[in-house]
Amino acid sequence: MATGEVTLLLADMKRGHKDALGKLMPLVYAELRRLAGHYLRGERAGHTLQPTALVNEAFLRLVDQDRTDWQHRGQFIGVAAQLMRRILVDYARQRAASKRAGAAVTLDEERLSPADNADRTEEILAIEEVLDRLAEVDAQQARIVELRYFGGLSVEETAGLLEISPRTVKRDWAMARAWLRAELADRKSP
């Protein structure tokens, strides 16, 4: 992989070139998937993957470190979080579909108990569904949810990326969480 290509695409994105994101996504996606696969193969019991570490490693591998700056890094993390959202939602959809079809689930079930796994799948799909509604009324708050929930970023990382205070992230995240929980509760007992 030419590190120059991703570096140039990040620079294009910063200048507002609309097609840069479309070209960037498959490259970042392939690298995230490769690294995650690598992690799975070398996994030790009880060792949890750190999403931020994975994204950092992808950034170091894909981006020419001599020709980059912190803004590129922020953009890269933003793109990675969008991709992680897609990866997790696609996964949850497949799980839900195979459950409906009664097909044997071939994925590794050992990491979580079946009940936890089903709850998580349902939660991911429900949040994906209501997050677009939140984006319509508060785009920044929806971004915070995307970065924290799907991207696994900490309060401080989210604040740095969005250039807002950690206090704002904490408050917006607390309210979004309460709202998401309320929406999920209403779905279970309408």
Partner 1 sequence: MTPERWASIKEIFNEASDRPAPERPAFLDSACGGDEPLRGEVERLLRQNGESLKSPAGELLAEASSLAGGPADRWAPGTLVGP
Task: Please identify, using beta-carbon distances, which residue of 67 and 125 lies nearer to partner 1.
Answer: 125
Distance CA 41, CA 136 (A): 40
CB under 8 Å to 59, separation ≥6 — which residues? Answer: 73, 76, 77, 80
- Applying CB under 8 A, among 40, 60, 97, 105 the residue interacting with partner 1 is 40
Instruction: Decide: is 1 part of the binding site for partner 1 (CB under 8 A).
Output: no
Q: Could you tell me the smallest distance in angstroms from the CB atom of residue 57 to partner 1?
A: 13
For partner 1, which residue of 1, 2, 97, 107 counts as binding (CB under 8 A)?
A: 107
Q: Is 122 in the site for partner 1 (CB under 8 A)?
A: no
Return d(Cα 184, Cα 177) in angstroms, integer: 10
53 closest CA partner among 71, 29, 30, 77: 77
Q: Which residue matches tokens 């019991």?
A: 45
54 binds partner 1 (CB under 8 A): yes
User: Residue 66 gets which letter from DSSP?
Assistant: G
Which residue reads 């604040």 in tokens? 159
* Choices 58-66, 96-104, 107-115, 155-163 (CB under 8 A): range interacting with partner 1: 107-115
* Cα–Cα distance measured from residue 63 to residue 125, given in angstroms and rounded to the nearest whole number: 32
What is the rounded distance in angstroms from the CA atom of residue 135 to the CA atom of residue 179?
13
CB of 10 to partner 1, least distance (A): 14
Does the protein bind partner 1 through residue 163 (CB under 8 A)? no
Residues 76-105, one symbol each (x = binds partner 1 by CB under 8 A, - = not), give ------xxx-xxx-xx--x-----------
Shortest Å distance, C-beta 120 to partner 1: 5
Whether the Cβ atoms of residue 169 and residue 149 lie closer than 8 Å to each other: no
Please report, as ranges, the residues that interact with partner 1 according to CB under 8 A: 19, 21-23, 25-26, 29-30, 32-33, 36-37, 39-40, 43, 48-51, 54, 82-84, 86-88, 90-91, 94, 107-108, 111-112, 120, 123-124, 133, 136-138, 141, 148-152, 171-172, 174-175, 177-182, 185
